[in-house]
Structure 1
Amino acid sequence: MASVDVTTTVAARPAPIAPAPGELMPVTSRVAPSSALVVAVHGEMDATTCPLLHERLIAHVRSTRHLILDLAGVSFFGAAGLTVLVVVREAALLADCRLCVVARTRPVRLSLMITGLVDVLDLHTDVTEALVCPDLPAGARLVDPRQPGDLR
């Protein structure tokens, strides 16, 4: 499994939440000027890393009205990651919390396309777009989430 060094920060970059012992997936969170909570995930989303992420996201869903889950730093996206997205989406619906998912990398987008979750989740190509998410009409997310043109 890959490990990401998050000890170096630049200017206003959010500081990582201190990882628990043995945690392989750094997660950062910050409150945006629009009051949305932006949670950025880095590394691998698999059966080892997802249980703690699941707990954190459920807690965030209960404490905010707009949660942006930024998966731009995810290098591996397994079935456990898909499960987390589905469960957190359901919790967000119940809590009346708007969940926006930033998905622009190949590992994340391909998994979402294959499973059909591109039609269920509110997907965006970057955090800036997701920050204005509540103001966008339904269906104004990715132009065509099935087009791999911007996949890295």
Structure 2
Amino acid sequence: MSSNFPADILELRVAEHDPDTRVVTVVGELDALTAPKLGALLTAQLTAAQVVVVDLDGVQFLASAGLFVLLEANELATREDRALWLVYNSKTVNLALEAAGLREYFTFADNVPAALENSP
């Protein structure tokens, strides 16, 4: 599944690692305009899979709306006894999570293979 929304500001890709594991790759800008698209995708993936890894390495801008979507997805994963992993190595994502005081709410991995290896 690939989606460019709008005018290539956000690209979302989903890869099925196995029947119970999905990797969602996010590239571009997560703001008030694009975050709902990611929110809908994460909700669908958390409904279908036990483990969802969100690769945020390609995120160039992360606004509060994007943080809220990630937090909502994490809460859904917790309620439904699913695992949600965030992967990022960008200053953009790190600064946004630090500034909002949200790092402690998420499970992180250094890269997608590490998240997949450590998933239940």
Q: TM-score, normalised by structure 1?
A: 0.72
SS for the counterpart of 2:10 is: coil
Q: Does 1:55 align with 2:40?
A: yes
Q: Could you tell me the percent identity over the aligned residues?
A: 30
Q: Which is greater in Rg?
A: 1
What is the number of residues matched between the two proteins?
A: 120
Aligned to 2:53: 68
**C-alpha deviations, 1:72-116, integer Å up to 9, x for none?**
100001101110111000111112110000021001011112222
Calculate the aligned-residue CA RMSD, in Å. 1.8
CA 1:133–1:71: 2 relative to 1, 3 Å? same
CA 1:72–1:34: 2 relative to 1, 3 Å? farther
Q: Does 1:133 align with 2:118?
A: yes
Q: Does 1:98 align with 2:97?
A: no
CA distance in 2, matches of 1:35, 1:46: 29
Aligned to 1:140: none
Q: Does 1:77 align with 2:48?
A: no
Aligned to 1:114: 99
**C-alpha deviations, 1:7-53, integer Å up to 9, x for none?**
xxxxxxxxx51435656311011012584200000000001100111
CA 1:20–1:47: 2 relative to 1, 3 Å? closer
SS for the counterpart of 1:48 is: coil
Give the counterpart of 2:73 among 67, 88, 96.
88
Unaligned runs of 5+ in 2: none
Quick check: 1:100–1:133 contact (8 Å CA) kept in 2?
Answer: no
Q: TM-score, normalised by structure 2?
A: 0.90
Aligned to 1:143: none
Please identify which structure carries the higher helix content.
Answer: 2
Quick check: 2:24–2:55 contact (8 Å CA) kept in 1?
Answer: yes
**C-alpha deviations, 1:121-140, integer Å up to 9, x for none?**
001221111112225xxxxx
Please identify which structure carries the higher strand content.
Answer: 2
CA distance in 2, matches of 1:75, 1:46: 11
